[in-house]
Every structure is written in structure tokens, then in C-alpha cells.
Amino acid sequence: MQTQAFKVKLSTVIIFFVCIVVLVSLMITDLLISSTVSENIRKHQEEKARLVSRSVATSHIIIEALEDDQKSMEIQEYTKSIQAATDMMFITVMDMNGIRRSHPNPEQIGKHFVGGDEKEALKGKEYVSSSKGTLGESLRAFTPIYNETGDQIGVAAVGIALESVEAALGKSHRSILTVTILGLLVGIIGAVLLARYIKRILFGLEPFAIAKIFVERNTMLQSVHEGIIAVDNEQTITLVNRSARQIFKKAGLSKDPVGMKIHEFLPSTKLDQVLEKGKPVLDEEQMINGVSILVNRVPLIVNGEVVGAISTFRDKTDVNQLAEQLTGVKTYAEALRAQSHEFMNRLHVILGMVQMKCYDELSDYIRVLVGHHNQELGNITQQIKDPALAGFLMGKLSYAREEQVEFNIDVPTVIPEPVNPKMTHELITILGNLIDNSIEAMVNSTDKTLDVTLYFSDKLLTLEVSDSGPGIPDEIQRNVLEKGYSTKGENRGFGLYLVSKSIENVGGEINIDSKALLGTEIHITIPYEVKGGNHD
């Protein structure tokens, strides 16, 4: 029974002492610092309005809707939900002409903003002012809205009724009229006791620091795109953020997991192993009812003891989309750079011939260039119907010439467009890495020849890449497809690994034939479904 008597809840202690402090000390507080309290309340209201206006101004929904008239209705819906959640008098979004795109009264949408204090905001200035509008006098926060290119496209205005501000001040004053000096002393004693108690059980942190950390933690956990789930040392789920719940919902797990045992909710998890061994497990793929996620798991260690574990994860679809974007940007940038460099070299040759007045030779040179260019373009564009793949190969032709490599592309059959657009991404990943590896391998070779053949028949696409490089020694051929394996130093060895993963994703096969000093030949076959049926 004695043990139970000392287990007083922190909330009970806080309520008890804070009530005493508030009841006996507010009058002295009002007499001594009433002006400060009033100023703080007003500043708090201003900051509240400013934070809400900034949140609205940086919302992707607002930015996209301002730039796309077809989405203009989303502005009213979004601001209406934010207004309800934050208890604002109004949240108005206006365009650069001062025309309202949202308003608590829908009839005011499309009309000019009223008050006259919005002009500086339309010039890119953020500020707080007081003015009278259609809803009455209010404290207003203005924040300019910028698009992704940094151009201002509108203004977010958030208002708090001045009556509510004055009511808050009056309520503060009326609530502290009966305070005495003795009450202040008792409040101080209570505050000291409370501070000591909190510091003793919360690692020496002050209350304001605890509140700040708590708010930051919750905001961070709920705002990150990665899903987060935490368990204690009893394998009980203690925390699940918003992104994790969305992924679980996508996998058909709709119930609230907090309080459940981790194995009851996720039988395939490995958090129990992290708890037992106290070591992290990073970058693993896990399936949850058909949904593929990339997972990191780390132990939570306090004073050298494992007190729990946390897992962060992300839908692999998002990661694949990001990889596709990065691969495409890199490919187009390399192609443009190589073509620009090659074009400048040819212009220098032409300029030299003009200055030397070698007009006959110049005519022959241009004729050869045009014929060679048309032959390359004709072979690729006529046979390869996927424009992205064709453009990629033409860019690699320029890059190879820049590296002084004889690059031959043979396409004896028409290669139709694939049914699934993701096939193009996988082909670019496969060919891009193989071509780059071959060109890099032939840096010190006397004969630099690279041959690529694409052949389509019987719903199978065959890729052959051969080079005249030094070849791959027999002792390392079995390891070249492993992640991170390379003989070229650190942070290498991902090219052939990505090739093998892409081939695995499309259900293909790869065969590597390489001999020292005789070059390397890589043969790949891939099931290839095309648009419009069989194009054999």
C-alpha cells in the first residue's frame, strides 16, 4: 500500500500545484505586468495568425490551384478545413490582382479584397496589420505565395477578430483580481516544488523544454513521408505516424495498431530481432499483404540498455518513381552535354575550313556529316518505335564519339513500343549501365569498339552488348552482379547490380561471356509485351 501512495500521476501533481499558483498569484501578476501580459497575448495571436498564413502560403494544394484555374475550387475547400481546425475568423487566398479565391462567405469569392492593407503583401512583403473588412475589424496576417520558380502568384491572408483578442485580455484581467502577496509566495513555493519534481523524473529538463520537444517530435513524426512505428521492450506498439497508417491502410490493415503486440499486427516484422540483438537492420525489403516497402530498423538505447525499437519505412513505389525521375534527368543531361560538345567540335572544323577557304573540302565534310547523321537517325528511329529509348541511344552515340569509342548499334528487326511504360525505364537502366561500363573499361584499350544489338522475335527482346575491353577475370565474374562489389574503389559496384535487378524485375535472363584481353559479351533475353499484339 505504501508503494501505491507514492505513485502519483504527473498530471495530478501539475493540476494541483498550478491551480494553487494561478488562484493566489494572478492578481499580483496583473498589477505588476498587466501591460506585458496584454502585449504577449496580442503577440501570441499575431504569431498564431502568421503561422497559419505561412502554412497556407506554402501548401502545394494552394500553389497548384493558383496556377491551374481548373483546380480553383480546391482553394476554398482547403482554406475552409484549415479555418475550422485553427478557429480563425477568416482565411482568404487572393491572386496578384487582389481578387479573392477563397472566403468564409462564398458570395465574396471573385471580388476584390477589402481593407486596403493588402497592397504591400502583393509586393512580396509579409506582415501583420489591423483593418476592417466584410466580416468586421480583425487582426490580419499576410504572407506572399510563391511558386516553385520563385515567382509570386498570390497572397494568403488570415484574420483573427479583434473582439476575441480584447475578450482574451479582459478575461485575463478579470480572472486575477483576488490575488494576494501570500498567494504569490505559496505559488512560488508550489512552482519550485513542481519544477524539482519534474526535473527529477524527466532527466533535468525544464517544463518549457519538455513542451517544445514534445511539439517538435509530434510535428516531425506526423509530417515526414516515411512511415514510423515504434515498440517498447515488451514488443508492444507505442507509436504509429500518419504515413505509416496510410501504408498499412493500403495493405488492408485498417485497425489501430497502438497497444497491440508487433507480431499480432505485422507477423513478418524483424523488430523482435533488433530488440534481442541491439543492432540495426538497414535497407531491407519487406512485403505487407502484397505492398513492398523499404525498411530500416534500429534499437532505442537509454543508459546502455535497449528500451525499445523503431522502424522507418517507405512504399517502394515512391522510391521507384524517384529513381525513374533521377535516371531520366541524368540520361537527358548526359545526352545534351555530349551532343553539345560534339557539335562545337564540328563547328570548329567548319570554321577552320572557311578561314582556309577550302570550300570543296568543306562541302565534302558537311555532306559526310549529314549522310552519317541521317544514317544513324534513320536506323534508330525507324527500327525503335519507343521515342524515349531511341533518344537515349542517340545520346549514347554522341557520348561514345566524345570518348573516341567506335559505337555500332544494330537493330535488324523493328522494336515496337512496350505495353507497360515501366519496361522503357528498365531497358534504359540495363543498356545505360552496360554501355557506360563498357566505355569506361576501354579507356586504356588501343581498339575501342562497342557493339549493341537489339532483336525482337516471338515476344522476346534480345540485347547483346560486346566490347573490346580487357575483359573480366574468371575469379570475379561470379561476383560482378552483387551490390557494391567493385574493383574500382569505394562507392562503386552499383551499375551491374542495377542491371541484374532490372532484369529480375522484368523476368529476363543474363549471360556474361568474358575472357581476359579478349573483351566482354553480355547476352540478355527479356519477355516483351508490345502494343497492339504480336509484331513479329
Helices (H), 206-300: 207-223, 242-250, 262-265, 271-277
Residue whose entry in the numeric block shows the C-alpha cell 525499445: 308
What's the average model confidence in pLDDT over 324-346? 58
Among the listed ranges 75-79, 321-325, 357-361, which one has the minimum average pLDDT value? 321-325
| Residues 248-269: tens digit of each pLDDT | 888 788 788 888 888 888 887 8
- Percent of the chain topping pLDDT 70: 71
| Residues 170-218: tens digit of each pLDDT | 666 666 555 556 655 666 666 667 766 776 777 666 666 777 787 887 7
Cα dihedral 327→330→336→341 (10° resolution): -140
Supply the pLDDT for residue 132: 82
Contact 239, 221 (CB under 8 A): yes
CA–CA separation, 247 and 401 (whole Å): 47
Give the model's confidence band at 383: pLDDT under 50 very low, under 70 low, under 90 confident, else very high.
confident
Q: Is the pLDDT of residue 491 over 50?
A: no
Please state, rounded to an integer, the average pLDDT across all residues of the chain: 77
Supply the pLDDT for residue 152: 92
Supply the pLDDT for residue 2: 40
Of 246, 255, 257, nearest to 293 by C-alpha is 246
Supply the pLDDT for residue 396: 81
User: For residue 338, what is its C-alpha cell?
Assistant: 555530349
Supply the pLDDT for residue 216: 81
Give the E-state strand segments of 411-533 in sequence order. 449-457, 460-467, 509-515, 519-527
Question: What are the structural domains of the chain?
Answer: 57-163 (3.30.450.20), 225-315 (3.30.450.20), 399-527 (3.30.565.10)
CA–CA separation, 74 and 82 (whole Å): 12
Residue 315 CB contacts under 8 Å (≥ 6 apart), including other chains: 247, 250, 291, 292, 293
Supply the pLDDT for residue 523: 92
CA–CA separation, 196 and 228 (whole Å): 33
Supply the pLDDT for residue 172: 65
Q: State whether residue 523 is helix, strand or coil.
A: strand
Of 242, 252, 241, 234, nearest to 289 by C-alpha is 252
Q: Are strands 90-94 and 127-133 parallel, antiparallel or unpaired?
A: unpaired
Among the listed ranges 147-156, 383-392, 450-459, which one has the minimum average pLDDT value? 383-392
What's the average model confidence in pLDDT over 144-167? 85
- Tabulate helix, strand, coil % of the chain (nearest 5): 50, 25, 25
What's the average model confidence in pLDDT over 485-490? 49
Supply the pLDDT for residue 3: 40
Q: State whether residue 262 is helix, strand or coil.
A: helix
Supply the pLDDT for residue 526: 93
| Residues 274-327: tens digit of each pLDDT | 888 888 888 787 778 777 777 888 888 877 888 888 888 877 666 555 555 455
Cα dihedral 481→427→451→368 (10° resolution): -150
Give the model's confidence band at 443: pLDDT under 50 very low, under 70 low, under 90 confident, else very high.
confident
C-alpha Rg value of the chain to the nearest Å: 34
CA–CA separation, 176 and 369 (whole Å): 91
What's the average model confidence in pLDDT over 396-422? 84
- The single-letter DSSP state of residue 112 is B
What's the average model confidence in pLDDT over 141-156? 92
Upper half-sphere CA count for residue 250 (Cβ side, 13 Å): 17
| Residues 95-138: tens digit of each pLDDT | 998 898 898 888 888 888 888 888 888 999 999 988 887 777 88
Contact 417, 530 (CB under 8 A): yes
